Amino acid sequence: MYERLRRELAYVRGLCEGNPELDRKALNRLLDTLDELVEANQHVEARLRELEEYVEEVDEDLNELELAFYGDLDDEEGLIEVVCPECGEEVLVDEDDIADDEIEVLCPKCHTVLVVEDATEIEPQRSGVDETIS
């Protein structure tokens, strides 16, 4: 469609440049081309609205599925809050992960590696990562 509109506009441009007496014909052709462009734009906007509505419906369906799948579980149920001793950032760790072994958790703020052995023991270890990275 756009290729045809470009050809029409090139034709109008040629009419204007080639023969100054054909201004009326060129203007009418230009107006016809603009009408087609407006119609095409209206079609695109209508399609965009349809797609936005569809995405909203899919999002609502996904939210319903998440509620059905996860139930009314508290988002933080089963999580242990660990505070980074370097920067004070709160990091959530799944208690199942630390039930048997110690784990290493990277602080998202200062990139300190936290070794978590149980809910009360936290040992900071510097990672080799530059601290200026956010």
Residues 50-79 pLDDT 10s: 999 999 999 999 999 988 887 655 555 677
pLDDT band per the 50, 70, 90 thresholds, residue 132: very low
Q: Give yes or no for residue 123 having a pLDDT over 70.
A: no
Residue 124 has φ and ψ, to the nearest 5°, of -80, 140
pLDDT digits (tens, 9 = 90+) for 16-56: 777 767 777 777 788 888 888 888 899 999 999 999 999 99
Q: Are 131 and 111 in contact (CB under 8 A)?
A: yes
pTM for the full model?
0.41
